[in-house]
Amino acid sequence: MSRMNPKVRARLTSLTKEVVEKSISALEERRVKIGWLKSIEKPTLIVGGGRDLQVARLDFVALSAASPLAKTLWVPDMNHILVDVTDDSDNLAAYNQPDRALDVTILDAVAAFIQAGDTR
């Protein structure tokens, strides 16, 4: 970075600070919105998918941290509608395929969670 044009360096530094400030602000907002999870005394299951376009991994982590007693499940290839997808185009196509099978991992996890009852 020492050979970088000073104007470019200044702009990158400015952008980096802006991104960091926005990220911190977003995290603070998430913490306020999910703080209520700590008050839940019933068994809780938090599920996230690696191809979910609506709920980011950061949100899954924040939800998990806000509810340390909750059971969590991360399914790398699952999208927001609980089906496995292979890439971005498959992800979008899945929204128009109502007969598509749900992810087996989540089905098994939800069944086990329900069968476990009040045990954590």
How do the domains of the chain map onto residue ranges?
6-116
User: What pairs with residue 45 in β-bridges?
Assistant: 71
pLDDT above 60 (res 24)? no
**Residue of 83 and 62 predicted with greater confidence:** 83
What is the distance of C-alpha 64 from the center of its chain? 9
Q: Which of 31, 37, 103 is nearest to 69 (CA)?
A: 37
Banded pLDDT at 7 (limits 50, 70, 90): confident
pTM of the model: 0.68
**Is the separation of the CB atoms in 79 and 94 below 8 Å?**
yes
Measured between alpha carbons, how far is residue 107 from residues 39, 48, 78, 113 in Å? 27, 13, 12, 10
Give the model's pLDDT for residue 1: 45
pLDDT above 60 (res 90)? yes
pLDDT tens by residue, 61-70:
888 888 888 8
